[in-house]
Amino acid sequence: MDVHVTSSTVGGSARAPPSKSYTHRAILAAGYSDGATVRSPLVSADTRATARAVTAFGGQVERDDGADTFEVAGFGGRPTVPDDVIDCENSGTTMRLVTGTAALGDGGTVLTGDGSLRSRPQGPLLDALGDLGVRAESTRGNGQAPLVVFGPLSGGEVAIPGDVSSQYVTSLLMAGAVTEEGIDVELTTELKSAPYVDITLELLADFGVEATPMGSETAEGARGFSVPGDQRYEPTGGSYAVPGDFSSISYLVAAGAVAGEGDAGVRIEGARPSAQGDSAIVEIAERMGASIEWNRDDGVIAVERAPLSGVEVDVGDTPDLLPTIATLGAIADGETRIVNCEHVRYKETDRVSAMAEELGKLGAETTEEPDVLTVHGDESDLVGATVDGRGDHRIVMSLSIAGLVAEGTTTIRGGEHVDVSFPGFFSTLTDLGATVETDA
């Protein structure tokens, strides 16, 4: 689907979609339980993939549209061996989290996905499971899906690098809680994207599961993590409510910062504080000069257009913000340096190169290094053009925000991929006053 965004101003209220990160973890945690209700979940292509995996392992996930819930009949910490291959489609989170689940089964599980997912690294998690006594292999021997996993996993001690994906740690912690021995995870390198492990620890606690960082009170600076075995997943009152998603909020913040006008610019509801590292977008936009206020008690962010200036941002813990920050940098005066970003190359696409190349089609000047993306705002003059979303929801949404400012009309190819995390993104932009047209 092609989407055409014409230079526009925006204003009014919008509600943040529920968190994709929390929804994935909540559906799987409910699967590990005897049964639970997940309230206000994000219903998207990725989270449906996790729901199908839970069903494949012997649970059942039913959507109640009227109540805005997933009703999950869990498999009680003992997944059955799936009858068929589990297709995770484009969801890397699904594949990594349920690889740990597959290791608990008394038999073999095959996991695959689309072409993009089959190119993403899974080797460190496979190696860790192998060290724990599980047969875990890449069918092509390259550390990428399709994967074959033979359990059962009983627990133990294992070492794993922390600089490829924090999701490996999450997978081991979630599965380790229901093993006989529990799992102690030692990090052999610095942990990137540490706030995502904090999300996991927070959610596990809400499901009654104990898991702790070692050497630190939070994931940041931890030398490892420990989860005792023989635990039960039991959320208080039998239900769990998903908070708003700050990765998705970042596009609404950016829209307000570059095009927000009216009484209060763009007003974003559902932005309550949580362990999400991507809430850093508020501070980043403020540093760049945006007129922004966050009422944390009410969960409301108000942001208006203002002159922006380039800054340096370290995305070691917030990789999903790189496309948003790059877009803001292309509109700001001066240089925006996005550092510590090599791991952002291993997402749905190489997001560093993707943003450099696609913003370049609109007239942005960038310099790309292995671990740094510099956007030269002073040398950039955005003009509408046809750009490729690269099959990546975050690239599509970020380029759409650039389209609000670029002279004329910007056409983004692959607009349907926003369904991965923000299915109502384009209708939200339209409701805020943007000129958006779509081709089926």
Pick the CATH number of 20-241 from 3.65.10.10, 3.20.20.70, 3.40.50.450, 3.30.470.20: 3.65.10.10
Q: List the binding residues for phosphoenolpyruvate.
A: 20, 92, 120, 167, 351, 394
pLDDT tens for 261-289 read: 977 799 999 999 999 999 999 999 999 99
Nearest C-alpha neighbor of 323 from the set 344, 292, 295:
344
**Separation CA 150–CA 57 (nearest Å):** 14
- pLDDT above 80: residue 440: no
Query: Residues 198, 320, 388, 419: which is the catalytic one?
Result: 320
CA atoms within 13 A on the CB side of 50: 32
Q: Would residue 83 show up in a list of annotated catalytic residues for this protein?
A: no
Same topology between domain 2-17+244-439 and domain 20-241:
yes
The phi-psi region of residue 348 (left if phi > 0; otherwise alpha if psi is between -120 and 50; otherwise beta) is alpha
Pick the CATH number of 2-17+244-439 from 1.20.120.140, 3.30.1370.60, 3.65.10.10, 3.40.1190.20: 3.65.10.10
Contact (Cβ atoms closer than 8 angstroms) between residue 414 and residue 423: no
Q: List the binding residues.
A: 20-21, 25, 92, 120, 165-167, 193, 320, 347, 351, 394
Q: Are strands 224-227 and 12-15 parallel, antiparallel or unpaired?
A: unpaired
What sign results for the dihedral spanned by CA atoms 183, 187, 190, 192?
A: negative
pLDDT tens for 125-174 read: 999 999 999 999 999 999 999 999 999 999 999 999 999 999 999 999 99
* Percentage with pLDDT > 90 across the chain: 97
Contact (Cβ atoms closer than 8 angstroms) between residue 122 and residue 144: yes
For the chain, give every domain's residue range. Answer: 2-17+244-439, 20-241
Q: Taking residues 11-17, what's their average pLDDT?
A: 94
